Homo-oligomer: A and B are copies of this chain.
Amino acid sequence: MIAVDAMGGDFAPHVIVQGALRAAQSGVSVLLFGDQTQIKASLDTLSTQWRTLPIAIEPCTQAIAMHEEATRSVVRKKDASLVRAAHAVREGRASSLVSAGNSGAVLVASTLIIGRVKGVLRPALGKFLPTREGEIFCLDLGANTDCKADFLEQFAYMGSLYVKLFKKSLNPRVGLLSNGHEPYKGSMEVKEAYRRLEKKSDINFIGNVEARDAFSNHADILVADGFVGNVFLKGMQGTIQLLFNWVKTETNRSWFSSLCGFFTWPLFKKIKQVTDYQRVGGALLLGVNKPVVVAHGSAQADAIYHAILFAQETVESKLIEHFNAQLADVLGDRRNSVFNEQKSA
């Protein structure tokens, strides 16, 4: 059973309900949290058969808007769809949370209600991005700004462990996103994280990675402060959008350009599928006790559908269970060793 925050996102609740309906049609049980009248109205317009599908509704009287201050709204709005959905996951009535709402509020609700894994300082948003010949797992993509070296160090462990489990990769390469590949490049915290990570024998740290080389298959994991990671991710999305727009404009210039455009389309369609963030499910919030999938605020029904499927697959594979158990072990050791280093220094 996947708990879905039906009121979160720019186009909520209708597109959220639409995505959830598709997921239910493909066999995933969904529990929708939100305004019952609106949800039922959406379901009725979308399908006459929805009552035969594995869809349940838990009515909520409140919702957290995209612009609301995260902590305050989570603490005060006890009956908000997001808060209620997080409680359902905590209580075990649902096995995973999916939200396209205010991502700060999702982070706070997940941390306060579902709870952090023991030893985790800050949960991080992680996601695979496409590269030239594969994928790179990037974190943090926006859950935390002003990250300390401690946090970056933990993100490196989280990313490494997730890729080990998800890709069954033995020794994935971890890079730090920086403004140059040299060890002395970076913000103060990135430089400090570099110094710490290069001493670790239990992580395959390959050093700094420039944003330009992130797609060149040098690294399997890219570690960044959430502010920087978010700029990196959205810069990539913006650039792809920019190129598509240019191609479109160029193809309208002359009959020859139109002909070129006609033949360009099949190539671009394929690329669009790989890069379209509407299709790619969502990011996983690593470091909390249960699988939490954060979909994009402007997600359409298709993105919600994929996010719910992704949550269901994550639950079925028990990936987060294994991940959390191993992470608690690693961070337990790590904190001790950091503590010992500080004592001996």
Q: Which residues of A contact B (CB under 8 A)?
A: 66-67, 69, 130-132, 142, 145-146, 177-180, 182, 184, 186-188, 190, 210-216, 224-228, 230-243, 245-247, 250-251, 256-257, 259-264, 266-267, 270-271, 274
Contact = CB atoms under 8 A, between A and B. Distances in A.
B240 A239 contact: yes
Nearest to A184: B69
Nearest to A210: B234
Q: Determine chain A's interface SS by DSSP, over half rule.
A: helix
A271 B259 contact: no
A79 B119 CA distance: 53
Contact of A231 (B130, B131, B231): B231
Contacts of A260: 263-264, 266-267
Given A245-B132, A264-B264, A271-B243, A188 B146 contact: yes
B145 A179 contact: yes
Contact of A212 (B238, B259, B263): B238
Per assembly, the copies of the chain total: 2
A26 to B, nearest CB: 29
A270 B250 contact: yes
A181 to B, nearest CB: 9
- Sorted nearest first, the 9 A-B pairs with minimum C-beta distance are A263-B263, A211-B234, A211-B235, A179-B230, A212-B234, A239-B239, A212-B238, A260-B263, A215-B242
A214 B257 CA distance: 27
B267 A250 contact: yes
Contacts of A187: 145-146, 225, 227
A271 B242 CA distance: 10
Given A186-B145, A235-B211, A235-B212, A242 B132 contact: yes
B188 A211 contact: no
27 contacts: A69-B184, A132-B242, A146-B187, A146-B188, A177-B231, A178-B227, A179-B226, A179-B227, A190-B227, A210-B234, A211-B235, A211-B238, A212-B237, A212-B241, A214-B238, A215-B241, A215-B242, A231-B231, A231-B232, A235-B239, A236-B238, A250-B267, A250-B270, A257-B267, A260-B266, A262-B263, A263-B264
